[in-house]
Amino acid sequence: MNKTIKIYIAFLVLLLVGIVFIDVVRPKPMNWSPTYDITDKIPFGMYVFNKEAPDLFGQKVNRITQTAYQYFEPKYDYDSLVNTYTVRGTILSISDQCLIDEESAQELLYFAQHGNKVFISAKSFPSKLKDSLKFSYTMKFMGLGKDSIFTMLANPHLGKKKYDISVGAGNSYFEKIDTLKTTVLGYHENSKEKLVNFIKVPYGKGEFYLHTQPTVFTNYHLLKGNGPEYTAKVLSYTEGEIFWLLKNQSGEILSNSPMRYFLSQPALKAAWYIFLIGTLVFFIFNAKRKQRIVPIIKPLENTTVDFTKTIGNLYFQEGNHDNIIEKKIIYFLEKIRNDYLLDTTVLDDNFEKKLQQKSGKKPEDIRRVIHLINERRKSYHQSIESDLIAINTAIEKVLEKEKNSQET
C-alpha cells in the first residue's frame, strides 16, 4: 500500500469521525409533530395521558390495538334472546385525524345504538358518522397575531373557567348540527368569535361525544397550567368500562414491518440505502445470470370426481335410494355443524330459527329441508326415486345459495 492511499484512508476516517462527533454534540431540535403516540414524550405525544389514564378514569383502561370492527364484532351475541354486546362502556378515540375504516365506523354506531357511549376527539371525522349523526364540521384559522385561543365547557355545573389552548389548537369546529337532538357541550374562542367544539349526539340507546381539540390530551397541555383540569372535566362524560382505540391513532397508517424504525432514523436509513446500492453494483459487475432448464412436470390427475361419479352410479343403478338419502343427510348436517357450530341432534323450530339467523337463508328453504329430513327419519317405508329427488333438490338448493353468498 503506497503513501498516497494511506493518506486518503486516513482522511476518510477523520472525516467520518468528525461527522459522527458533530451529529452527537449538536443540540437536538424540538419535535412539534402531532404524533398522538402513547410512547412519545414530545409536546404533542400522549405519553403522560397514557400513564395517567387509569387515574383520570378511576379504573383500568383497555388499550385496543385492533380496529373497532375487529375487536367489537366478535363481542356481539347474535342469539335471538340476547342480541347485544357482551361488553358495555365507552369507546375512546383520540387522534389528529379520525381515519377509521367504514366497517369500524358502522361498528361504533352499533355499539352506541345498544346503550353505550362513544367519545371521539379529532380534527376531522368519517363521512359515515357525519351522515348518520347529522352534523358537519369545517375549519377556520383563529390564531391571528398575538390573539390567544381559549376553550371552555357549556355545562355550568362544570364551571365557566376558560383554558388557554393557543399552542397546537386545531381549527375545526362544528358548522351544522341537528339542534333538536344535539347538545352543545363546549366552545373555543378568541377575542372576536366563539365556535362550537364539543357536542353530544344521542344515537339509539346510547350517545356520541364529539370533540375537535385533541391537543388538550397531549403532553404539552397536561403538563402546563390548568390543562389537566379541563381534560378531567371533558372525560367526566364517559362512563363504564373504557375501550381506548389506538390503531392508526397518529392519523397515518403505519407499517407493521420490522424495518419501520430502521427507516425512521436518518443515519440508519442512509446506511441501509448505501448497502442496497453497493449490493446492486456488486451483482451488476460480478454476478452471472444462470438459469437451469425448468423441467415440465405433468400435473397429477384429479380422480376424486370420477370416483365420486362411479360410486354414485353404482348406488343409483342398484336402486338403493335409502342409502343415498342417508348419506346426503349426513353430509348436509355435518356441513351445518362445521359452518355454523350448531347442534343437529334435534331439528325443531328453535334449530330452524338459529340456522336462519346464522346463515341468512330464506326461512322457507330451511323449513323445507328440515321437514323432509324429519319425515325421512319417521318413515319406515322404503324410499323411492321421487323421495331422493325431492330431498336432494331441497339440500342442493340451500347449498347452492350458500355457494352464491360466499362468492359475492
CA–CA dist 147, 317 (Å, integer): 93
CB 250 within 8 Å of CB 42? no
Tens of pLDDT, residues 43-83 = 999 999 999 999 989 888 999 999 999 999 999 998 877 78
- What residue type is 373 in one-letter code? I
User: CB within 8 A of 199, min separation 6: which ones?
Assistant: 135, 174, 177, 182, 183, 184, 185, 209, 210
Categorize the per-residue pLDDT at 306 as very low, low, confident or very high, splitting at 50, 70 and 90: low
Specify the pTM.
Answer: 0.59
CATH 3.30.2010 fits 47-245, yes or no: no
Categorize the per-residue pLDDT at 407 as very low, low, confident or very high, splitting at 50, 70 and 90: very low
Q: Is the model's pLDDT at 11 over the cut of 90?
A: no
Tens of pLDDT, residues 222-251 = 998 889 999 999 999 999 999 999 987 654
CB 217 within 8 Å of CB 49? yes
CA–CA dist 88, 67 (Å, integer): 17
Q: Is the model's pLDDT at 357 over the cut of 70?
A: yes
Q: What is the mean pLDDT of residues 321-330?
A: 78
The ranges assigned to domains in the chain are 47-245, 304-407
- Residue found under cell 358502522: 106
Tens of pLDDT, residues 136-195 = 999 998 866 678 999 999 999 999 899 999 999 999 999 999 999 999 999 999 988 999
CB 63 within 8 Å of CB 244? yes
> With left for phi above 0 and alpha for psi between -120 and 50, is residue 258 left, alpha or beta?
alpha
Q: Is the model's pLDDT at 16 over the cut of 90?
A: no
Looking at residue 303, what is its pLDDT?
A: 60
